[in-house]
Structure 1
Amino acid sequence: MLKQEGYYGEELKPYEKLKSIIEEYMHYYNNKRIKVKIAGLSPIHYRTQTSQSAA
């Protein structure tokens, strides 16, 4: 999404709109995206879980 789909084939977007798209994607990528390789958790949840078990 961020690399191409967020702007490809469309007119140029204002800076604030582009910034908003990037921030939304970063939130999704870190908080909502599920990865099978990390036990079906999002990256943030996985890091939180592993840091708590190491303490």
Structure 2
Amino acid sequence: MRHRGFTTNHKLVMRLMKLAHLTCMLRVKKYHSYRGEVGKIAPNLLKRDFKAMKPNLKWVTDITQFKLFDQKLYLSPILDLFNGEIISYTLS
């Protein structure tokens, strides 16, 4: 429709497609990050220096969310920057 000069809302197109029984089998979901409640920002102690000269000097962590068997799982490992070894992790 856009190529023919019509300007429409995507919701209108979806509604018209549904009325004509032309709904798609899979609708792509957009990525939505959740910022949560904004609190204090931690100080940048590493200043992008991700190398350590000896073990247990610098540890980092991150949280990864993935979906498995229709459930959301969260993985949070703690890594030693000296050799990339996983010190500990939590899965919930």
Tell whether the structures are fold-level matches, with TM greater than 0.5.
no
RCO higher in 1 or 2 (8 Å CA, sep ≥ 6)?
1
Task: Flag the structure with higher helix content.
Answer: 1
Structure with higher Rg: it is 2
Larger strand percent: 2
TM-score relative to the length of structure 2: 0.18
